[in-house]
Amino acid sequence: MEPLASKIRPDTLADFVGQEHLVGAGKPIETAIVKKHLFSFILWGPPGVGKTTLAKIYAKGLGADYYELSAVSAGKDDIRKIVDSPAGLLGPKILFLDEIHRFNKAQQDFLLPYVESGKLTLIGATTENPSFEVIPALLSRCRVFVLNELNEREMKTIIGRTGYSMSDDAADWLIALAAGDARQAIAMLENTYELYGGITIEKLKSTLQSKHLRYDKKGEEHYNTISAFIKSMRASKADAALYYLARMIESGEDPKFIARRMVIFASEDIGMKDPHALVMANAVFRAVETIGYPEAGINLAHGVVYLASAPKTKAVYNAYLEAMADAKEHGNLPIPLNLRNVPTKLMRDLGYGKGYEKYTDEDLLPEKLKGKKYFRP
């Protein structure tokens, strides 16, 4: 059965809700459709704000053949099939690649020549900063458009199109829960109506407890699981950490999100007790970035066991916090003269760099902080 979100999806800019800075009169995407301007771009924004819908409307407006892939499950063969397929009746080929940040570097490198040659016009969608997630060569060939969360008025307009009857209080409760994610709000309404035959706050709350909605990347269960994961590694409980890792992988969590937390953990909770932990965590991150799911799960598990088994200390982390607190409190304290840069004779005559020794027992902190100890092994 076709999901309600798909049934009520608008197919023209006139019916599109939100993102006026992109689709309003004279704005970039509206202008591109009017002028039939074909170009590759990336839509960067939170879930459920219209990235897929906007891609479909753009492709239709330009009379293009539209292909849609999810980077979570697609690979090189899927791209090759699209490129090699006979040219359609409509015109150029537009590939909408959802969650483009889930494509590893090798996959993005494979896509690049097709975009460069014009065989494919790429529309990428991502919730992550494309500056970090899309290779520079591919990013340089795309414009980046930032999409915003839908506001309350826009959410009410979209909810009204579902045709479900509900009180203002129920609509307000749902809008607050969805936090600008129209797709989540529509799915909640659809599931609630199917389960209970009507929409009330109580019925919406009951639906929220359903298993298939328990893990939302923006919701409480997401933060509960990552919290349990970190705390299990901190307590040196490798088995528990592996279980919570498996929970996140099974729920479709971005592997790079997990790996980033592991890199942070290596410095924050292990630090100088085992300096190699940071090397290991970075190696896991690079492996995840290169390989992707499903094999990257093995790399994550390898790193998790290492980090959980390593000795722990927060000495570096605590030292960092104390140094940051002093930097904020005291501002730009004068740098000792012997530590200052000496690019000119005048500065040398003023005493800059005088008495500097490479290896010294001298306290090198600013005068006001002399004697202060941040790092305590």
The label of the residue with tokens 């200390």 reads 313
Residue-level pLDDT at 217 = 54
CATH architecture observed for domain 220-309? Up-down Bundle (1.20)
Residue-level pLDDT at 51 = 93
Q: Which of 45-49, 257-261, 346-350 has the highest mean pLDDT?
A: 257-261
Ramachandran region, residue 48 (left: φ > 0; alpha: ψ -120 to 50; beta: rest): left
The label of the residue with tokens 């090798």 reads 106
Hey, what CATH topology would domain 4-146 get? Answer: Rossmann fold (3.40.50)
| Average pLDDT of the segment spanning 154-170 | 89
Stated pTM of the model? 0.59
Residue 223 has pLDDT above 90, yes or no: no
SS (H, E, C) the chain: CCCHHHHCCCCCHHHCCCCHHHHCCCCHHHHHHHCCCCCCEEEECCCCCCHHHHHHHHHHHCCCEEEEEECCCCCHHHHHHHHHCCCCCCCCEEEEEECHHHCCHHHHHHHHHHHHHCCCEEEEEECCCHHHHCCHHHHCCCEEEECCCCCHHHHHHHHHCCCCCCCHHHHHHHHHHHCCCHHHHHHHHHHHHHHHCCCCHHHHHHHHCCHHHCCCCCCHHHHHHHHHHHHHHHCCCHHHHHHHHHHHHHCCCCHHHHHHHHHHHHHHHHHHHCCHHHHHHHHHHHHHHHHCCCCHHHHHHHHHHHHHHCCCCCHHHHHHHHHHHHHHHHCCCCCCHHHCCCCCHHHHHCCCCCCCCCCCCCCCCCHHHCCCCCCCC
- Delimiting residues of CATH 3.40.50.300 domain(s) in the chain: 4-146
* pLDDT, mean over the chain: 87
* Across 26-30, 212-216, 337-341, 373-377, least confident range: 212-216
CB 180, CB 186: distance < 8 Å: no
Q: How far apart are CA 366 and CA 264, in angstroms?
A: 29
Nearest-Å Rg of the Cα atoms of the chain is: 26
pLDDT in tens, 42-98: 999 888 899 999 999 999 999 899 999 998 888 889 999 998 887 655 578 999 999
Residue-level pLDDT at 180 = 82
Residue 213 has pLDDT above 50, yes or no: no
- Delimiting residues of CATH 1.20.272.10 domain(s) in the chain: 220-309
Closest CA to 339 of 355, 319, 326: 355
Say how far residue 149 (Cα) sits from the centre of its chain. Answer: 14
Q: How far apart are CA 209 and CA 352, in angstroms?
A: 66
Q: What are phi and psi of 145, to 5 degrees?
A: -110, 130
Residue-level pLDDT at 211 = 44
290: its two tokens: 């290169």
- Delimiting residues of CATH 1.10.8.60 domain(s) in the chain: 152-213
Q: How far apart are CA 88 and CA 78, in angstroms?
A: 17
Residue-level pLDDT at 89 = 57
Residue-level pLDDT at 297 = 93
Residue-level pLDDT at 219 = 53
Residue 348 has pLDDT above 80, yes or no: no
Residue-level pLDDT at 339 = 79
Residue-level pLDDT at 212 = 45
Domain 152-213 is in which class?
mainly alpha
CB 242, CB 229: distance < 8 Å: no
Residue-level pLDDT at 220 = 56
Residue-level pLDDT at 294 = 82
pLDDT in tens, 290-328: 888 888 899 999 999 999 999 999 999 999 999 999 888
206: its two tokens: 């009951």
